[in-house]
Amino acid sequence: MIISAVIGIAVSYGDFYLFHLLLFGLLVISLIQIKNANFLLSLKTRSGNYDLFFLAMFFWYALSIYWAPNMIYAGKYMFYIFCGIAIAQAVIYYAGNLSKMNALFRIMSIIFLIEIVVALLESFTAFRLPISPYSPWLTFFGKEPVNFEAFDNLFVYSDFRPPTGFHWNTNNLAITMVMILPFFLCSHQVLAKMLGSIAITSIILLAASRAVFLGLIIILCFYLIIIKKKVVTLSIIWFSVIGLFWGMSQLTESENPRINEVANTLEALTLYLKGDIDVGGSLEWRGELVNNGITALVKSKGLGVGAGGSVAIQEKIGGVAGRFTSMHNFWIEILVEGGVVFFSLMIVWYGSIIFNLFKISKLGSNNQIKYYASALLLAMIGFIPAAIAASSTIYFFPMWIMFGMAIAIISLHRKVEEIH
């Protein structure tokens, strides 16, 4: 099931994923096991107390259905949360020891490497996965044709179509890339570090997401400051990336139309990331979405508008820019829907995980666990700004995988230290 979560929408028909099928099968098996155990549940396999947050989250949002403005949206949101928690708990449960964590990491690494290759092919060739919004085979997989004018992306008005990888949305791909970047940066293999970093940076730049690009910069800065790698290594990576794009800028007159198109968008891309170009009024309507959400939060006296309530509130107003109803800011979405108390609880929970990963990266006795902790530390830091890029990340599977891995690593570290 975990692997199907990594693949996500890449293997799907309409809104039904392979993940949903496997999750249903897992639920059936679990119910049979519970019945055979006379409906007695064992809590011995829990990994510390961090996973209790998931329980609190589920019950709080379930309770919020009582005052949520739209029952249908509330039900959908609860389903999203349930799927996410199932993914995180599956990772925590499976990675009960280091050997299993290593096995899981190897399999996920292969899938993510395939996605990187796919994204690069989509960037520089005409190749597209069948489920891509730019694929001519889209409708054969139960997907509706896409209105590209609704996309918040620099390339909407260009012939160039950015990569989407295993994700339906370019921004979601970019967030995934910035989350796996630290695993390359923290690698002890110089070649993997360089090639992986160059490939991921290229994909993120071509995705043209300001928030994810900010996450990329923050990760690189914290990598240098906290993880204390050699400045020379980081400099080589940066010079390689700069050299790559300088070389592309020299190919503006290339006879290859694909290369020519990419090369000619570099200058516009730079201006876009700096905020000098605001595609479709992106910054303006995002600000309006946030203002509408905060206004609704104040009216609820800080309680929150309930599960799925932010979308219902925006729809009631009429949508921003005539079409946007999702909050397009995960953290504000949690604040507006979950309320001030729950949002504060999540910030403390998230910050505590980051702090513990930092301690493990510095003081851990097991090098493999320190590697995971260092990479996850950077991933969770970079995710903070990057999460703003997506319309919502509550149904973004890589986020829940990251949560599960972080909690599992903290638990594994404590087990190892107890042995020593």
Q: What was the pLDDT predicted at 54?
A: 96
Which residues, 6+ apart, have CB-to-CB distance to 72 below 8 Å? 308
The first and second tokens of residue 319, run together, are: 């949508």
Q: What is the C-alpha separation between 291 and 378, in angstroms, rounded?
A: 30
Q: What was the pLDDT predicted at 135?
A: 81
Q: Which is higher by pLDDT, 340 or 252?
A: 340
Q: Tell me how far CA of residue 259 lies from CA of 137, 237, 249, in angstroms.
A: 24, 22, 10
pLDDT band at 232 (very low <50, low <70, confident <90, very high): low
pLDDT surpassing 70 at residue 147: no
Q: What was the pLDDT predicted at 277?
A: 46
pLDDT surpassing 70 at residue 352: yes
**Dihedral (CA of 120, 268, 273, 283) sign:** negative
Report pLDDT digits (tens) over 275-334: 554 455 566 777 788 888 899 999 999 999 999 988 888 888 766 655 667 788 899 999
pLDDT band at 356 (very low <50, low <70, confident <90, very high): very high
The share of the chain scoring above pLDDT 70, in percent, equals 78
Q: Tell me how far CA of residue 324 lies from CA of 123, 135, 236, 316, in angstroms.
A: 27, 24, 41, 12
Residue 148: how many other CB atoms lie within 10 Å: 13
The first and second tokens of residue 46, run together, are: 């829990």
Strands, E assignment, 140-187: none
Q: Which is higher by pLDDT, 99 or 364?
A: 99
Q: Which is higher by pLDDT, 21 or 319?
A: 21
Q: What was the pLDDT predicted at 8?
A: 86
Q: Give the mean model confidence (pLDDT) for residues 347-363.
A: 95
Q: What is the C-alpha separation between 254 and 250, in angstroms, rounded?
A: 9
Q: What is the C-alpha separation between 240 and 224, in angstroms, rounded?
A: 17
Q: What was the pLDDT predicted at 121?
A: 92
Q: What is the C-alpha separation between 179 and 203, in angstroms, rounded?
A: 13
The first and second tokens of residue 348, run together, are: 């403390």
pLDDT surpassing 60 at residue 260: no
Q: What was the pLDDT predicted at 163?
A: 87
Range of the domain at 279: 2-419
Q: What was the pLDDT predicted at 130?
A: 85
pLDDT surpassing 50 at residue 82: yes
Min mean pLDDT across 128-142, 190-204, 405-419 is at: 128-142
The first and second tokens of residue 33, run together, are: 């096991």
Q: What was the pLDDT predicted at 188?
A: 87
pTM, 2 dp? 0.85
Q: What was the pLDDT predicted at 47?
A: 56
Q: What was the pLDDT predicted at 58?
A: 96
Q: What was the pLDDT predicted at 208?
A: 76
Average pLDDT, the chain: 83
pLDDT surpassing 60 at residue 405: yes
Q: Which is higher by pLDDT, 4 or 266?
A: 4
Report pLDDT digits (tens) over 360-404: 998 888 999 999 999 999 999 999 999 998 888 899 999 999 999
Q: Which is higher by pLDDT, 257 or 366?
A: 366
Q: What's the total number of domains in the chain?
A: 1
Min mean pLDDT across 59-68, 151-160, 226-235, 345-354 is at: 151-160
Q: What is the C-alpha separation between 113 and 86, in angstroms, rounded?
A: 24
Q: What is the C-alpha separation between 205 and 270, in angstroms, rounded?
A: 9
